[in-house]
Amino acid sequence: MKFTKNIVLGTILIMAMIGMSSCQKVLDKKDLTSIDGELIFKDSTLAFLNLSFIYDNNLPAWFGNTGGTINYNGTWTDEAQGSNILLQGTVVETSIGDFGTGLSTSNNWAKIRKINEFIRDVKAGSMPENVKNKMLGEALFLRAFRYFDLVRLYGGVPLVLEPMNPIGSNKENNFLPRNTTSECFTQMIADLDFAIENCPGRWPNADWGRITKGAAAAFKGRILLFYASPQFNPNNLQERWQAAYDANLVAKQLLDANGFGLNASYDQLWFSEVNNPEAVFVTGYNTKTGNDEKKNNTYDQQTRPVYLSSSGGGSNAPTWDMVQSYPMKDGKKINEVGAYTYDVKTFYKNRDPRFDKTIAYNGCAWPINGNASYRLWTYYTSKSNGDIDKTIEPNASNTGFYLRKAVNPNTQLNDLAFSGTDWIEIRYAEVLLNLAEAACGVNKNLESVELLKAIRKRAGIDAGSNNRYGLNTNLDTDRSALFEAVLYERKIELAFEGKRFWDLRRWKLFESALNGTRRKGVRIQLAYNTPTSVTSDINSQNLDNLYTNYFTVTEWVKDGFDINHKPEYYFFAIPSNAIQNNNKLKQNNTWGGDFNPLN
């Protein structure tokens, strides 16, 4: 099911459905020059067209972006390089404007209002109770999703659970104070519990992509994991970890019972659509080009090299920092003793198989644009004095690398602008990692380790003689080390999926992990005296021989500033214009106000 309807299309379809109704008495009595809410919400097909608009208005785009200030693409962390106010330490009260003010139809409050209107009208309608409850469950999931987007940024916000009256003379009645953060979490969980109870475990193929019990349970598990994490839980309250564990265990059980699980392929999971076992909560795209229902993503075209794209390209380039984060094929980090020895000169050798499925590097085989034998070259040539001359590629990568995750190798050049690859906001692997982290939180270390092993086994990491896939034995008893191992596994497994920023944020790790550093790329340089016999037929050359004898790998500092994330950024300021618009709002205490986002 692709939720692609906009307001105009939805209105046209509703009118068309009214016109095609098989009930002649209804047609005789209703004025079809206007859309009658009573008629719409007594017919499940017509009501679903409204729900489809709610979906389309709230589903996240690629990287999990919800249309806010933080338009995540990796540059907000160590995954990719780029300037932003968060890492430069220049955030002010008006910087993060996701709270929303004014009469916008696209801000958070406008979207919540539309959801609340739908909930009100469905409840008042005359559809069968089970049909109503399914749709209400889906709408309540999306309301929780919208509120979570606000709470993870600011802490508690006003809870608006009914459509407000138009502003006009009632403007003062619409001014609400902020609810506490705990009240917001309680409401989100209540909405999701209703969805878990009333949504089906699995939809028919024609409705694939709609919210299921498992999706609602998985999102509940994610929310409660945030609530248990240091950003919201600095005192490490164990009842929060227990709630997160219980919720994520239920999520896994519901998903398992309904045929969800790890996709057999780490890289191909993005290109499986209907019944993809790993897709728990998904935003559907399509490859349509000439009708009102087209919904294409721009990720594929923006990500592949410029000269392999019909327009744009070269974005989301991995940093050298991220490249070195990947473990070796035995699961050991590059600075750990293991079965494989890391050599910076041949950095690509014997790495975790997820490395080759995520990072495109100089000399790698990368079937792309339908060319099964393509090899990527990003190296620089040399002058006679040994200085760098120019890059062999028409437009050099920003870091020396490209991102290949979810870039469809079979898409032809002329079709790049119409990519239909779906965005998977929650996949089954995240559910396992959420459960592993929560299990660690309640001191179920052995259970957590088993979940990490399942992730690594699917990745293709060597099991080793002890069948631990590179996981150290101290993790069985060391809670702190296990937390660190889970976060590391998330960094690799969920790389470039919009999760790294939120992990650093909820664990309050920006200062310790990034502050004072500058992100890096590499220059891979071909020696000036490289024989013509090598350069003239470089595609047939052995890559190890090239790197050993002709290429040099040199770090290249990309940032022009030391990263300087500040502690007050873990809860952003309510924008000053929002407070001026509503004098009942209080500012966060980390920004000079007296609202405590930890309450």
pLDDT band at residue 545 under the 50/70/90 scheme: very high
pLDDT of residue 35: 54
pLDDT at 14: 47
- Min mean pLDDT across 188-192, 290-294, 373-377, 442-446 is at 290-294
DSSP H helical ranges for 460-570 = 479-493, 500-506, 510-513, 532-535, 543-549
* Residue 63 and residue 421 in contact, taking contact as beta carbons nearer than 8 Å: no
Q: Two tokens at 245?
A: 């564990």
> Does residue 326 surpass a pLDDT of 60?
yes
Token pair belonging to 572: 């952003």
Q: What is the pLDDT of residue 395?
A: 86
**Contact predicate 165/173, CB 8 Å:** yes
The string over 387-398, giving b where at least 16 C-beta atoms fall within 10 Å of a residue's C-beta and e elsewhere, is: eeeebbbeebbb
Q: What is the residue type of 16?
A: A
Q: What is the pLDDT of residue 409?
A: 92
Kindly give, in sequence order, each residue whose CB lies less than 8 Å from that of residue 246, ignoring residues fewer than 6 positions away. none
Residue for token pair 């509503």: 582
Res. 7: pLDDT tops 80: no
pTM: 0.93
Residue 28 pLDDT: 38
Indicate the burial class of 205 (C-beta count within 10 angstroms; 0-12, 13-18, 19 or more): exposed
Residue 10 has pLDDT above 50, yes or no: no
Note the pLDDT of residue 36.
Answer: 58
279-283 and 359-360 as β-strands: parallel, antiparallel, unpaired? unpaired
pLDDT for the residue numbered 103: 62
pLDDT recorded at residue 44: 87
Range with lowest mean pLDDT among 58-62, 95-99, 310-314: 310-314
The residue ranking higher by pLDDT, 299 or 104, is 299
Segment 497-536, tens digit of pLDDT? 999 999 999 999 999 999 999 999 999 999 999 999 999 9
Instruction: Find, among 218, 104, 227, 96, the residue nearest to 156 by Cα.
Output: 227
pLDDT at residue 474, as a whole number: 97
**Mean pLDDT throughout 212-237?**
98
Q: Rounded mean pLDDT of 189-194?
A: 98
Q: Which position has the higher pLDDT, 3 or 397?
A: 397
Tell me the mean pLDDT in the region 124-134: 95
Inter-axis angle of helices 428-441 and 445-459, nearest 10: 150
329 or 12, greater pLDDT: 329
Residue type, 292: D
State yes or no: pLDDT of 25 exceeds 50: no
Residue 127 banded pLDDT, cuts 50, 70, 90: very high
Give the residue carrying structure tokens 């929303």: 100
Indicate the length of the chain as a whole number: 599
For residue range 370-423, what is the model confidence (pLDDT) as tens digits?
889 999 999 999 999 989 999 999 888 999 999 999 999 999 888 898 999 999
| Separation CA 426–CA 416 (nearest Å) | 25
pLDDT at 164: 82
